[in-house]
Amino acid sequence: RLMPGAHFSENEISERMSASRTPVRQALFWLEHEGYVQVYSRSGWQVKPFDFKYFEDLYDVRIVLEEAAIRRLCDSLLRQAGPAIEELKATWLIDDDARLSDGQQVSALDERFHCLLVEACGNEEMAAIHRGISERMRIIRRLDFTKGPRIDATYNEHGAILRAVLKRRGEEALRLLKPHIEASKAEVRKITLHMLHAARERHQAQGEQGRTMQRIG
């Protein structure tokens, strides 16, 4: 809910969260360790400014991990990856009229698609690294799904990648995967502070709507 570059104090967060300063400070130092915020000795805290190079580097690492996972998966398909593959098929190999249109929902499913591909290959450490990268990229990927054409493209491209994996056509899956991720990576440069602000406003509106429904219920 705070924009990149925004300054804030521990007291402000404590009041907003109705919590004492000690757990707030601990949480903020953890967020600093994770790279989301930074502290200044005299002026309090700041949400880290948007670093396009940082996110582009994360995309590059994702490509390496997912390409390695697809190679492993196609070499040993379905011996230990059954549940993950079945979930992917149920989500992405569906009729057009069954597709979701809500960007936030599709964004979550998109992240799940890529995480499951890596998990399915059976290397737990690789999957853990990939999950960590996905968490850091989440804000970018949600903004990527504010446009309808990106949602349709995601269903089409995920379906094509998954069909190639199911047929154990590793090279075909790799040829489809890289431009799929590169297209999302290219969207990073199009993100503006206006888009971030609009996303924050939508998030707050959805939260208020949810609280209203709870009160009605």
Report the C-alpha dihedral over residues 204, 207, 208, 213, rounded to 10 degrees: 160
pLDDT value at residue 203:
62
Task: Kindly state the percentage of the chain with pLDDT values over 90.
Answer: 53
Q: How confident is the model at residue 11 (pLDDT cuts 50, 70, 90)?
A: very high
Closest CA to 155 of 104, 115, 199, 101: 101
pLDDT value at residue 43:
74
Rounded to two decimals, the pTM is 0.76
CA within 13 Å, CB half, 89: 13
Could you report the per-residue pLDDT of 97-145, keeping only the tens digit for each? 999 988 889 989 999 999 999 999 889 999 999 999 999 888 777 666 6
Q: Which residues contact 121 (CB under 8 A, 6 or more apart)?
A: 68, 69, 70, 72, 73, 76, 81, 127
Per-residue pLDDT at 169 exceeds 80:
yes
